[in-house]
Amino acid sequence: MKTIDYSAIKSNAKYFKNILGKSKLCAVVKNDAYGHGLLPTATALAQIADCFAVGNAADAVAIKPVVRDVLALLPLNYRDTVIAVNAGAILTVDSFDTLDIVARVSKQLSIQPRVHIKIDSGMSRLGFTETQLNCLCGAIDGLKMRIEGVFSHFYGETSDQCDKQLQYFGKCADMLQSRVGRKLTRHIANTSAALLSSKYHLDMARVGLGLYGYGSDGLRPAAKVTANVISVKNVCSGSVVGYGAKYVCAQDTRLAVLDIGYADGLPRSVVGSAVKIGNAFCSIAAICMAMTVVDVGDADVRVGQTATLLGTDVNIANNQVIVYELLCNLK
């Protein structure tokens, strides 16, 4: 079962507002606010964040009544662009295809859409490259859209990686701003970059994971995922646990079965991670569709107790699965 502490999300947002100083905070609430609930999270942060970022038109429409500015990060098709523009959302233009759609919608609706231009500074995902900017600058002349910002995304977490991208992004942003003829809101930092150095803050930073409690010791995890102990049994050394005989008890021990499994978003790759039952940290031995087996050793564990899989002091993420995935998938 997942529960959300929205006061923790507020506290985390204020933590970043303090770090960012004069730079704006864009709260990333895409994909149901990383599993924390889109509308409740946006409502909680409405008076704290300066802007919100979502993935699609439906999410922009859902939160626009409670927030001032919302940026749709992904390119939208024609229908969804109409929806987003009518809702007053800010659009991302990441390619000439997207530019064409926004231009056609602008003409149809006789509205000047608000736009941020996406730059591909090295992630090779979305955005214009430096070599495309001359063509882009020529294409935007005469179009009825208000270009308000320019942004990119860091792929790395080290200063060397971020500095390389920042330099490239700055060159592209300067070129675009010169052509547009007014100051554009620049943003490239995610949570890790916002924490790494103030030089990455620019005009605004897009903070996602940090809002939900991860990235710094000063943050509070907002989501708590628990399961119930439904069985406890004694087993002998050499006993096989779960499918495939991948876990074999090295000694006589006790096993607890939890009512959660991969059907609830618990990936089998976290076998070996520790969950907390009472005051004891116990290792996951096997994960099935609707059950998880935990080796509790000699800990005082009983049927009916609660096991914590994610929350304060407990994070079952490992090298195969990161906390982003757990937050979005665990139910």
- Render pLDDT for 192-227 as a digit per residue (tens, 0 to 9): 999 999 999 999 999 999 999 999 999 999 999 999
Residue 32 pLDDT level (bands cut at 50, 70, 90): very high
Cα gap 134→179, rounded to integer Å? 10
Q: Identify any residues that bridge with 52 across adjacent strands, giving them in sequence order.
A: 27, 70
Helices (H) and strands (E) in the chain, counts: 10, 18
Cα gap 100→279, rounded to integer Å? 59
CA distances from 162 to 122, 134, 210 (A): 10, 25, 18
Q: Once rounded to an integer, what is the mean pLDDT over residues 70-83?
A: 98
pLDDT for residue 142 = 85
Contact predicate 67/33, CB 8 Å: no
Task: Please say if 24 is a catalytic residue.
Answer: no
Residue of 78, 144, 183, 243 marked catalytic: 243
Structure token digits, residue 141: 């002349």
Structure token digits, residue 222: 């907002």
Cα gap 110→99, rounded to integer Å? 16
Cα gap 57→102, rounded to integer Å? 13
Architecture of the domain delimited by 2-212: Alpha-Beta Barrel (3.20)
Percent of the chain whose predicted confidence (pLDDT) is above 90: 98
Task: Please say if 243 is a catalytic residue.
Answer: yes
Q: Coil, strand or helix: which one is 60?
A: helix
Residue of 30, 64, 118, 276 marked catalytic: 30
Residue 296 pLDDT level (bands cut at 50, 70, 90): very high
Q: Identify any residues that bridge with 240 across adjacent strands, giving them in sequence order.
A: 248
Query: At residue 39, does pLDDT exceed 90?
Result: yes
Model pTM? 0.95
pLDDT for residue 92 = 98
* H/E segment holding residue 258: strand 253-258
Query: At 5, which amino acid appears?
Result: D
Q: Identify any residues that bridge with 253 across adjacent strands, giving them in sequence order.
A: 235
Residue 154 pLDDT level (bands cut at 50, 70, 90): very high
pLDDT for residue 52 = 98
Kindly report the number of other CB atoms within 10 A of residue 252's CB atom: 13
**∠ CA(147), CA(167), CA(188), 5° rounding?**
50
Chain segment 47-71, per-residue pLDDT in tens: 999 999 999 999 999 999 999 999 9
Q: Identify any residues that bridge with 91 across adjacent strands, giving them in sequence order.
A: 115
Return the closest-CA partner of residue 13 out of 22, 25, 21: 25
Q: Region of 14 please: left (phi>0), alpha (psi -120 to 50) or beta.
A: alpha
What is the average pLDDT value for the chain, to the nearest integer? Answer: 97
Cα gap 17→169, rounded to integer Å? 24
Domain boundaries, the chain: 2-212, 223-329
Cα gap 227→229, rounded to integer Å? 7
223-329 in CATH: which number? 2.40.37.10
Strands 274-277 and 280-287: antiparallel
Query: At 183, which amino acid appears?
Result: K
Contact predicate 135/117, CB 8 Å: no
Q: Identify any residues that bridge with 231 across adjacent strands, giving them in sequence order.
A: 257
Place of tokens 């150095």: 197
Query: At residue 319, does pLDDT exceed 90?
Result: no
Structure token digits, residue 236: 């002998």
